């Protein structure tokens, strides 16, 4: 599967595509530049790098590399797609070598509870989206935003936790202990 690689855009590098002549991706790049999304994400990434340690920065950058990857129930790779907990598990394993449980509820149980006011980039945010606690998980990227794989038919994206939908369903923040 060919996909757009947003990390290159975030790093301020020239636009890159999976294959020449893919007008859809070129149109997407133009639209994102016109709307100022690329510059805002680049600024946020720079803030993340300045405000946190190297491992958290690498973790967020790695997570951003999954932007646009399609949702796939039970998925855990950029090639085949990811679901919410698969995204979290894969990003932590690739970025810091930490292997988390597969399901969101188990990830919540295996991590340290923190207050919402203590959130830092790289922390996990949990939501009740299926009438049960910890049914959805994402990675906090800073400035009230998180990256996640929302649902079937969509793809990995960044969203604002302060919008009504996410705000009312928020049910916990967790920090992944990186020491053994």
Active site residues: 84, 136, 148
Q: At what angle do helices 54-64 and 84-96 cross, to 10 degrees?
A: 140
CA dihedral sign, ordered 74, 59, 125, 145: negative
Class of residue 72 by CB neighbours under 10 A (exposed 0-12, middle 13-18, buried 19+) = middle
Say how far apart CA 170 and CA 83 lie, in whole Å. 18
Say how far apart CA 92 and CA 99 lie, in whole Å. 7
Say how far apart CA 45 and CA 137 lie, in whole Å. 21
């Amino acid at each position: 599967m060919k996909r757009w690689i947003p990390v290159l855009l975030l790093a301020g590098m020239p636009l890159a595509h999976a294959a020449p002549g893919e007008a859809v991706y070129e149109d997407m790049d133009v639209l994102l530049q016109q709307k100022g999304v690329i510059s805002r994400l680049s600024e946020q990434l720079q803030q993340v790098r300045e405000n946190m340690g190297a491992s958290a920065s690498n973790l967020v950058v790695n997570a951003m590399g999954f932007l646009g990857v399609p949702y796939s129930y039970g998925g855990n790779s950029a090639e085949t797609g990811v679901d919410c907990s698969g995204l979290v598990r894969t990003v932590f394993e690739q970025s810091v070598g930490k292997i988390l449980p597969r399901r969101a509820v188990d990830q919540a149980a295996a991590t340290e509870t923190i207050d919402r006011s203590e959130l830092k980039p790289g922390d996990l945010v949990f939501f009740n989206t299926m009438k049960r606690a910890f049914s959805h998980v994402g990675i906090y990227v800073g400035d009230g935003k998180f990256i996640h794989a929302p649902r079937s038919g969509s793809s990995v994206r960044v969203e604002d936790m302060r919008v009504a939908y996410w705000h009312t369903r928020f049910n916990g923040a967790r920090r992944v202990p990186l020491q053994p």
